[in-house]
Structure 1
């Protein structure tokens, strides 16, 4: 499995900014409300972060040798995929609301509910990105010294991620 590429994450963020800005302009010029997520979306984002972090801690305990209980390889792969999806989802949400914020700051000022909501959602999305990135690092096994005859590569794929066992 491939690790996250910062350039791809940045590209997703920029696409989100452009899309958010364009749709905010289109919506407001046609009399529609600004398309921002409500603050209650933070509950869902927080739940995703907590789930991702909880699963990541379980993998980290296995990779660091703090537990002898093996991790199911499917669970390890799902944890990695969830971590990477959290990074991309957070980048998309942050980009979307940053684009909306760019469009609103000129006309609405900082007192608007849409501006406040955008700022809160950008903060929550950045937390999502950070948690996803950290959990992805949890899924990597430490490098193995090839000169060490005791070295094992069991449970590691070609990218260095924990594969666990069934």
Structure 2
């Protein structure tokens, strides 16, 4: 499984920004409101980011040696995938809503306190939260590097050899996931 690509986060954010700007321009020219999620969506963003962080903390505690219970390898893999999806979705939301916020900002003097502008700003901050949480949780799920001579972190036998279920050679390079 590959890591989150920062380049793709930037591309997704930029493309979403251009499309958001174009959609906002078209809709505002035709008398429609700005196409932003309401501030209530921020609650859903916080809940999803919190759940992802909780799952990531469970994997991190197992990775750091607290192994009173076995870690299901499928649950760990799902946590990594959830973290990556969260980061990419955050880039999409950030790009779209930041572009709309920037196009609404010059109108601030005409209509201060406009709800669409505040919603766009709130969801943009939520997108940043999603990206940060995704990157942090992905890092939580990476296994520490193992020295070739078997003296580094994660070396040894059984469940502490740098693998999820205690099988394998434990020769991870730090790029493997729990």
Calculate the TM-score normalised by the size of structure 2: 0.85
Aligned to 2:49: 49
Per the TM alignment, residue 106 of structure 1 is displaced from its structure 2 partner at its CA by 2.4
**Separation in structure 1 between the aligned mates of residue 39 and residue 134 of structure 2, nearest angstrom:** 21
Q: List per-residue Cα deviations over 1:46-90 (Å, max 9, x = no partner).
A: 110111011001100111112332211110111001000000111
**What's the RMSD between the two structures over aligned residues?**
1.7
**Separation in structure 2 between the aligned mates of residue 42 and residue 118 of structure 1, nearest angstrom:** 10
Calculate the TM-score normalised by the size of structure 1: 0.90
Which one scores higher on RCO, CA 8 angstroms, separation ≥ 6? 1
**Separation in structure 2 between the aligned mates of residue 143 and residue 120 of structure 1, nearest angstrom:** 39
Task: Point out where structure 2 has 5 or more consecutive residues left out of the alignment.
Answer: 165-169
Aligned to 1:93: 93
Q: Does 1:61 align with 2:57?
A: no
**Separation in structure 2 between the aligned mates of residue 37 and residue 108 of structure 1, nearest angstrom:** 19
Aligned to 1:5: 5
Aligned to 1:102: 102
Per the TM alignment, residue 25 of structure 1 is displaced from its structure 2 partner at its CA by 0.2
Aligned to 1:154: 163
**Separation in structure 2 between the aligned mates of residue 3 and residue 120 of structure 1, nearest angstrom:** 28
Q: List per-residue Cα deviations over 1:15-58 (Å, max 9, x = no partner).
A: 11111101000111111111010000011111101110110011
**Separation in structure 2 between the aligned mates of residue 100 and residue 153 of structure 1, nearest angstrom:** 45
Aligned to 1:81: 81
Q: Does 1:32 align with 2:32?
A: yes
Q: Does 1:128 align with 2:130?
A: yes
**Separation in structure 1 between the aligned mates of residue 116 and residue 33 of structure 2, nearest angstrom:** 9
Q: List per-residue Cα deviations over 1:83-139 (Å, max 9, x = no partner).
A: 000001111101100111122122344532211111111111111111111000000
Aligned to 1:143: 145
Per the TM alignment, residue 153 of structure 1 is displaced from its structure 2 partner at its CA by 4.1
